[in-house]
Amino acid sequence: MTDLNHDEIPKPFKKSNIKIRIRTVILLVFGTLFMIALIRDCKAGIFCWKWGLMIFIPFLIIGFWMRKLVPMQVHLASKCITFSFDKIYFSIILLLVIIKAVTGHIPVMVFWSDVIMCIILGLMIGRLSGICLRVRDLKKSHNLFD
DSSP the chain: -PPEE-SS--TT-EEHHHHHHHHHHHHHHHHHHHHHHHHHHHHTTS--HHHHHHHHHHHHHHHHHGGGGS-EEEETTTTEEEE---HHHHHHHHHHHHHHHHHHTSGGGHHHHHHHHHHHHHHHHHHHHHHHHHHHHHHHHTT---
- Domain range holding 23? 14-141
136 in any annotated domain: yes
- The better pLDDT of the pair 114, 2 is held by 114
- State the average pLDDT over residues 87-97: 92
Tell me if 65 is assigned to some domain: yes
Q: Is residue 53 part of a domain?
A: yes
In a domain, 106, yes or no: yes
Its pTM stands at 0.84
Whether residue 81 lies inside any domain: the answer is yes
- Domains in the chain, number: 1
pLDDT at 124 over 90: yes
Residue 18 inside a domain? The answer is: yes
Residue 4 maps to a domain: no
User: Residue 129: its pLDDT value, please?
Assistant: 94
